Amino acid sequence: MTRSSAADLDPDDLGFEHVPETDQSFENALAKARDGTRLTVDDAVELLTTGSDAPGIDRRRKEAVLEAADRRRAEVVGDEVTFVANLNNNVTTACNTGCLFCNFKDTAHQFETDHGGGHAGFTKTPAESREAVAGAVERGVYEVTSVSGLHPAFALNDEHHEILRGYDDAASAVNYKPPERYVTDPGTYVDQLDAMSVDGVHLHSMTPEEAYHARRGTDWNYEEVYSELADAGLDSAPGTAAEILVDEVRDVICPGKIDSQGWIDAMEGAMAAGLDTTATIMYGHVDNEMHRAIHLQRVRDLQDRTGGITEFVPLSFVHERTPLYEHGVVSGGASDAEDELLIAVSRLFLDNVENIQTSWVKYGDEKALKTLSCGANDFMGTILSEEITKRAGARTASSEASTTTWTSSPRSVGSRSNARRTTAIAGESTRTRGRRSGRRSVRRPTGRRCCPSASAPDARGRTRPPTTEPAHWPTACPRSHADQPAHAAGPAGARAERSRSSRPSLSRVRSDRTQRRDANRG
Contacts with ligand SF4, residue ranges (CB under 6 A): 95, 97-99, 102, 104-105, 149-150, 209, 254
Half-sphere exposure of 53 (CA within 13 A, CB side): 6
Q: Which is nearer to ligand SF4, 255 or 457 (CB)?
A: 255
Q: How far is the CB of 111 from ligand SF4 (least distance, A)?
A: 13
Q: How far is the CB of 112 from ligand SF4 (least distance, A)?
A: 17
Q: Which is nearer to ligand SF4, 222 or 349 (CB)?
A: 222
CA dist., res. 178 & res. 162, Å (int): 10
CA dist., res. 104 & res. 95, Å (int): 9
CB neighbours of 517 closer than 8 A, spacing ≥ 6? 157, 158, 159, 162, 507
The answer to whether 112 touches 182, Cβ cutoff 8 Å, is yes
| Residue 444 phi, psi dihedral angles, 5° rounding | -70, 130
Q: Which is nearer to ligand SF4, 158 or 259 (CB)?
A: 259
Q: Which is nearer to ligand SF4, 163 or 254 (CB)?
A: 254
Q: Which is nearer to ligand SF4, 97 or 157 (CB)?
A: 97
Q: Coil, helix or strand for 137? A: helix
Q: How far is the CB of 61 from ligand SF4 (least distance, A)?
A: 34
Cα–Cα–Cα angle for 244, 339, 392, nearest 5°?
65
Q: How far is the CB of 96 from ligand SF4 (least distance, A)?
A: 8
Cα–Cα–Cα angle for 430, 490, 340, nearest 5°?
105
Q: Which is nearer to ligand SF4, 142 or 154 (CB)?
A: 154
Closest CA to 151 of 117, 194, 191: 191
Q: Which is nearer to ligand SF4, 22 or 93 (CB)?
A: 93
CA dist., res. 160 & res. 229, Å (int): 13
Find the helix or strand (DSSP H, E) in which 326 lies: helix 323-326
Q: In one letter, which amino acid is 435?
A: R
- What is the β-pairing status of strands 86-88 and 143-146? parallel
Q: Which is nearer to ligand SF4, 150 or 296 (CB)?
A: 150
Q: How far is the CB of 97 from ligand SF4 (least distance, A)?
A: 4
Q: How far is the CB of 238 from ligand SF4 (least distance, A)?
A: 12
| Residue 236 phi, psi dihedral angles, 5° rounding | -155, 160
Q: How far is the CB of 263 from ligand SF4 (least distance, A)?
A: 12
Q: Coil, helix or strand for 93? A: coil
Q: At what angle do helices 126-138 and 189-196 cross, to 10 degrees?
A: 20
- What is the β-pairing status of strands 81-84 and 86-88? unpaired
Q: How far is the CB of 205 from ligand SF4 (least distance, A)?
A: 13
Helix/strand/coil percentages in the chain, nearest 5 = 40, 10, 50
Q: How far is the CB of 222 from ligand SF4 (least distance, A)?
A: 17
Q: How far is the CB of 498 from ligand SF4 (least distance, A)?
A: 30
Q: Which is nearer to ligand SF4, 213 or 495 (CB)?
A: 213
Q: Which is nearer to ligand SF4, 86 or 97 (CB)?
A: 97
The answer to whether 504 touches 224, Cβ cutoff 8 Å, is yes
CA dist., res. 179 & res. 35, Å (int): 57
